[in-house]
Amino acid sequence: MQAIIDQTINFVKITLANAETGHDWFHIERVFKTAQAINAKEKGDELIVALAALLHDIADSKFNGGDEEIGPQKAGDFLKSIGISDDIIFHVQEVIRNLSYKASLGTITFKSKELDVVQDADRLDAIGAIGIARAFTYGGYKNRVLYDPSIPVNLNMSKEEYKNTTAPTLNHFYEKLLLLKDLMKTEAGKEIAEQRHQFMLNYLEQFYGEWEGKR
């Protein structure tokens, strides 16, 4: 199993060589480690968890004209090329397909413990100290302001609106980041999310205090 994982790590590193900072190799490495830590308690299939965590972001549809099938396709082609069996490939592809927050806003057709583990790990990387850093990185890339008290939070965005919003990055905390804690599927994921969530609440309190010149 280690040889397969090493080959996959190599492939992902090469594929992500020029990736933007939100989905670079280090994001994958964090998700991979967190997924393994969660799976130590969940006892899902270790190979599926490892492969899905490593391959989950090799093609971001946001940067590929919105085609959600490119990622699973690329992952499948790679796994086939190193001789992985079809049933494992299929499961890994289903995890990747169903992973994104956007997929979970639509109709979910696939369920598995391995999906829960990798999804929790991926979502955990969007909250806490690193989640905050990623949000502002993404906001900067999209030319968004940090905060604008006159622009309200919109909790009812469609998939399209969510992708194209020009709202300040602070709004994203209320539209997504602070909601992730309650979407955790695994016990270990919930525990980690609780701590990171509290950190974000403290951060926001500090932010508003500084904004008003009160801290």
- Rule CB under 5 A: which residues touch Ni ion? 57, 122
User: ∠ CA(195), CA(16), CA(159), 5° rounding?
Assistant: 60
Residue entry with tokens 């599926």: 48
Query: Site mask, ligand ADP, residues 49-78, x = CB under 6 A?
Result: -------------x----------------
165 binds ligand ADP, rule: CB under 6 A: yes
Stretch that binds ligand ADP, among 8-16, 36-44, 127-135, 191-199 (CB under 6 A): 127-135
100 binds ligand ADP, rule: CB under 6 A: yes
Residue entry with tokens 């990736």: 19
* Closer Cβ to Ni ion, 108 or 146, answer by number: 108
User: ∠ CA(45), CA(47), CA(51), 5° rounding?
Assistant: 125
Residue entry with tokens 């594929």: 15
Q: 105 is written with which tokens?
A: 């806003």
* Closer Cβ to Ni ion, 34 or 169, answer by number: 34
Give the span between the Cα atoms of 44 and 63, in whole angstroms. 31
Give the span between the Cα atoms of 53 and 208, in whole angstroms. 35
**Least Å distance between CB 54 and Ni ion?**
11
Q: To the nearest 5 percent, what fractions of the chain are helix, strand and coil?
A: 70, 0, 30
Give the span between the Cα atoms of 45 and 66, in whole angstroms. 30
Is residue 111 helix, strand or coil? coil
* Closer Cβ to ligand ADP, 51 or 124, answer by number: 124
Residue ranges in 11-50 that form contacts with ligand ADP under rule CB under 6 A? 22
* Total residues interacting with ligand ADP, rule: CB under 6 A: 15
Give the span between the Cα atoms of 188 and 37, in whole angstroms. 8
Which of 44, 72, 76, 131: binder of ligand ADP (CB under 6 A)? 131
**Least Å distance between CB 115 and Ni ion?**
13
Which of 71, 72, 76, 139: binder of ligand ADP (CB under 6 A)? 139
Residues that bind ligand ADP (CB under 6 A): 22, 62, 100-101, 122, 126, 131, 134-135, 138-139, 165, 169, 172, 176
